[in-house]
Chain A
Amino acid sequence: MLELRLVQGSLLKKVLEAVKDLVNDANFDCSATGFSLQAMDSSHVALVALLLRSEGFEHYRCDRNISMGMNLGNMAKMLKCAGNDDIITLKADDGSDVVTFMFESPTQDKIADFEMKLMDIDSEHLGIPEAEYHAIVRMPSSEFARICKDLSSIGDTVVISVTKEGVKFSTRGDIGTANIVCRQNTTVDKPEEATVIEMNEPVSLTFALRYFNSFTKATPLSNTVTLSLSSELPVVVEYKIAEMGYIRFYLAPKIED
């Protein structure tokens, strides 16, 4: 028996909007730790890891570890039917091939049940090793989204370079080139507006911009985003989900032959 009640149902709606275009089908894993997902995009260039900790749910019952295969497009369709203020409850019986999403309006005057078919998905769980990153950049998530969108109108790839000067995002295309430098800036009114750069070593990596633009669909989940970079390792683009966990996107760099 599985029963997860999330008072801030909009979080789950936002999570699905953030991942549904990157990954088609995925297994959601439920354990005492929480509700999690790990999946790669179909070309195995990017990986998404989601964790919503059990403590973040108002009610969390998971009698045994369970893995539920879902089509994320269909799940997003169902969650779109929940209001932004609704409480969302996920329910599944042991051995069942369906999951039920229950949406309750805040005043309890409307209660809806949506039942979705589960699917068998062969997925490979990957071990993500702990790594010491050469540089970690924290910046407003809206600023990062703006940079990715702007650069993708010029080129297809972005070079991210971190030096003591700051973090530089560069692209080039048929019409010309673009460079955007963000310097560390901690003298802001609110901490979430700061750009903070921790650099152990300078690092420069090249990535496909279209993946970054997909990751920025997670922007509504967090005011800030963290980029962790090391040479010849996938970049980690992390959006923290307040009081619940995180959504992390890993993107393999482009590598010189």
Chain B
Amino acid sequence: DPKQGNILSFFKKS
């Protein structure tokens, strides 16, 4: 099954 992605791997802390 595909794994759930994480927002922090797409958007960086500003």
Contacts and interface: CB of A to CB of B under 8 A. Distances in A.
Partners in one complex: yes
Nearest to A128: B11
Interface string A33-53: 000000010001111000000
A255 B10 CA distance: 13
A157 B4 CA distance: 10
Contacts of B7: 40, 44-47, 126, 234, 250, 252
B3 A125 contact: no
Contacts of B11: 47, 126-129, 234, 250
A10 interface: no
B6 to A, nearest CB: 5
A189 interface: no
Contacts of A40: 7-8
Interface of A: 40, 44-47, 124-129, 157, 206, 208, 233-234, 250, 252-257
Interface centre among A129, A233, A255, A257 (most CB of B within 10 A): A255
B4 A45 contact: yes
A128 B11 CA distance: 6
A128 B12 CA distance: 8
Given A47-B7, A126-B8, A256-B3, 9 more contacts: A44-B6, A45-B6, A45-B7, A125-B14, A127-B11, A234-B11, A252-B5, A252-B7, A255-B5
A241 B1 CA distance: 37
Interface centre among B2, B7, B8 (most CB of A within 10 A): B7
Contacts of A128: 11
B14 to A, nearest CB: 4
Shortest 5 CB-CB contacts between residues of A and residues of B: A252-B5, A127-B14, A254-B2, A126-B11, A47-B7
Contact of B5 (A45, A129, A157): A45
Contacts of A257: 2-3
A199 to B, nearest CB: 22
A143 B13 CA distance: 34
17 contacts: A45-B6, A47-B11, A126-B8, A126-B11, A126-B14, A127-B12, A157-B2, A208-B4, A234-B11, A252-B4, A252-B5, A252-B10, A254-B2, A254-B3, A254-B5, A255-B2, A256-B2
